[in-house]
Structure 1
Amino acid sequence: MPIKIKRKNGKVTRYKNAEYIPLFYFLPKSLLDKCGELPFQISRYPYELFTDWTQIELIESDQFALLMYDAFHYLVWDYMGLNVGREIYSGDHPAWKFSHAPSFWIKTMQDEGVLPPIESLVNDIEPTTFFSFVSDEYVDAVLKDIVPKTMERFGMNEILAVVKEYQCFEDFDYRYSQQKNDFKNSYYHKKTKHPMISLEAFQEDYKKNHDGAEWDKADDSIDLEGDTAAKVDVERFMATLSEKDRQILELRVEGYTYQEIADKVGYKTHSAVKKRIDKIGREFQEQTNTDIGFE
């Protein structure tokens, strides 16, 4: 149940971000030292967070929510078994999203008795109760236990396995990384069926094979009949697809990203879209006896 408070005008409404208060008191000082002034403007006396309007406004601010997202992401990332720096992946990557979702972790931490229920802070805390900073050693011990349990609880390991198998450019941050470069090289190696040559080399080769003719006009040998047959193959194949599969392909052709497609068709991750497109591509190859680069 959401925590509610009585406003100055007498209305009782939801206390925004109050669910993050127990987690805030779990964050070690060594981490909060890197997070600016806000963490040290918030009282370590939890009673004040429900009675002092200055404190309430701090908790309800967007800055506090962002603090909790980013700070906990920084805290749990190295315990998720990814073996890569947090700067490698983009915001579309499920691991990045999961680490930025405190509500998942709070549930497990409360069930395991690490965090108190928010209701206890509302109903049982005395004005003199003070929450001191927890030690780095305690946080380390808790995360070594809680992170694997939370990832198993929400099927995160299975999701990451699928993402790894069906990687796409959207998984990676815009900055250079060795992982991104390795994926790019692997991607183009799989997609390129013929060695890449320069335009000049292609034109020279064309002259040798066409009695010295320059490559500057339409080739009379183009197989228009074959092109027509290929178009018919595509139309027949599209007719066999479900409405959702056709929508996925049409959106991709229109230039939508995997994540944007996932949001539109109701998939949980962009990797699911990538996996679906790969499957459709392989089916097309089998039905038309063509090779368009799907393995």
Structure 2
Amino acid sequence: MKNEEQGPTEAEIEAWQREDFFLPADEATPETHPSLYNISAGLMMFTGVVRPLEPQLPDYVTIPMVHASAELVVQVSKWNVLWEAGQFRRRFFSGDDLPEPIAKIAELGDINTILVPHTRSRYFEYAPLLHLLPKATLDRFGLPLLRRGQWPFLADHSDADRFLPADFEQRLAKAWAWSVWPNINSGSPMQAFSGDDPIRVLSHNLNYWIPPVTKVIQDTLGQFPEVDEGKTVGPVPLEDGSFLPGAVTGNPRQGGSVWTGREEAVEMVAATVEAADATGHLRDILDAVRSHRVEDDFSNRWSYAREDFERKLYRKRSKVQVRFVELTDTIPVQGPESDVLGKLVTSDFLALLNEKQREVVVLLSSGFRQHEIAEKLGYANHSPISKRLAQVQRKAVEFFGLDK
């Protein structure tokens, strides 16, 4: 029998942590899952806040918190809960009283940072994205079903990192890309593009999506009512009698649910894509990629995007007339959009040729005869040059859709 005076065993502690971290499958209803929650600074004894007139978007900074002291845990919670203060949150603390990891950040000046534990999985950095994914998506990519998320990070009561798969970040990247793809490329499935397609790569880049989802969270919380602490909006006085420029005083906002349930999460994913235009120039990136598509961007699978690309490509080729001539006094000028005049072929066609074939085309265009080209390239006679010209001509016939 267990001695009543003894503390809990490691197995009991782990069981409690698992229960606190994981959500039973039968509780993950569409009405309640996924969800993200916020706690007001007012609940942590802050009766007033400083609000920047032009708040900076926060950066997530990882600090070591394994076996962290109680002091560090408390100060991290206080630092983060003051998210409304943005880049001015360090002014709520005395540098002499802050634990070393936070003190070093405070010494950097008025910068907006959210502190999270440094972990193998990077769960706390990417938690807002994970807590936007419905159960079906989590199951599809082998991700765990977790209880309600908390933003910003306050404390790790469950030692979360040890319960997550070793490839958690990779699985989350695939799951997030799967979820966000219809919002950035609704006409064609992701499988229609190669693994190197720039938009597909971007959809998997979790670091790219953290700023916009953070903006959406803060914009949502910014609409919450304030806690009535009797504070009036006004200038922020400093110890030297001056006022803090670019900031005003105010009451902390109430906390609550940022989103709850699948329907609200879907809306938040769409809002994140919209916000990415402001935080990461998403629309400009998409327009640039779509305007400069190459065949390697596509997989072998048919899609509207591939069909549109091929239609435009063949229309462009059909306007090009190709004649094989030798110009004795013309020196070709090559640039990003230039043609090699000796063959009247575009730079796109030259890209299909290997190095030796391109050398032959350029030299022939520059006025060299076949035997002269053979001599320059180190051949005993012009027979290899004739063979390469035949290869070039066959590729031109295929590339430009000419009659053989």
TM-score (norm 1): 0.53
Alignment match, 1:28: 134
Alignment match, 2:283: 157
* 1:7-57 deviation digits (Å, cap 9, x = unpaired): 58xxx9932313112322232223223233x413x666879x94555x413
Paired residues of 1:93 and 1:171 also in contact (CA < 8 A): yes
Identity of aligned residues (%): 20
* 1:222-269 deviation digits (Å, cap 9, x = unpaired): 97xx36656xx24xx35xxxxxxxxxxxxxxxxxxxxxxxxxxxxxxx
Alignment match, 2:205: 101
Alignment match, 2:305: 179
Alignment match, 2:214: 110
- Give, as a single letter, the amino acid of the residue that structure 1 aligns with 2:189: G
Give distance in 2, aligned partners of 1:194 and 1:29: 56
The 5 Å alignment of 1:246-285 reads: 280-282=336-338, 284=339
Give distance in 2, aligned partners of 1:170 and 1:106: 29
Unaligned runs of 5+ in 1: 117-130, 196-221, 239-278
Deviation at 1:281, TM superposition (A): 2.7
Unaligned runs of 5+ in 2: 1-59, 68-100, 102-116, 221-256, 349-404
1:291 to 2:344 alignment: yes
Alignment match, 2:270: 144
Give distance in 2, aligned partners of 1:21 and 1:165: 34
Instruction: Summarize the Cα distance change of 1:290–1:103 in structure 2 as closer, same or farther, 3 Å threshold.
Output: same
1:4 to 2:63 alignment: yes
Alignment match, 2:295: 169
Instruction: Summarize the Cα distance change of 1:74–1:152 in structure 2 as closer, same or farther, 3 Å threshold.
Output: same
1:57 to 2:157 alignment: no
Deviation at 1:146, TM superposition (A): 2.5
Deviation at 1:169, TM superposition (A): 0.6
Give distance in 2, aligned partners of 1:24 and 1:281: 44
Paired residues of 1:88 and 1:172 also in contact (CA < 8 A): yes
Alignment match, 1:213: none
Q: Which protein shows a greater Rg?
A: 2
Three-state SS of the structure 1 residue aligned to 2:336 is: helix
Matched residues, number: 202
Higher normalized helix content (fraction of residues): 1
Three-state SS of the structure 2 residue aligned to 1:174 is: coil
Alignment match, 2:125: 19
RMSD between superposed Cα atoms in Å: 4.2
Instruction: Summarize the Cα distance change of 1:151–1:99 in structure 2 as closer, same or farther, 3 Å threshold.
Output: farther
Paired residues of 2:180 and 2:269 also in contact (CA < 8 A): yes
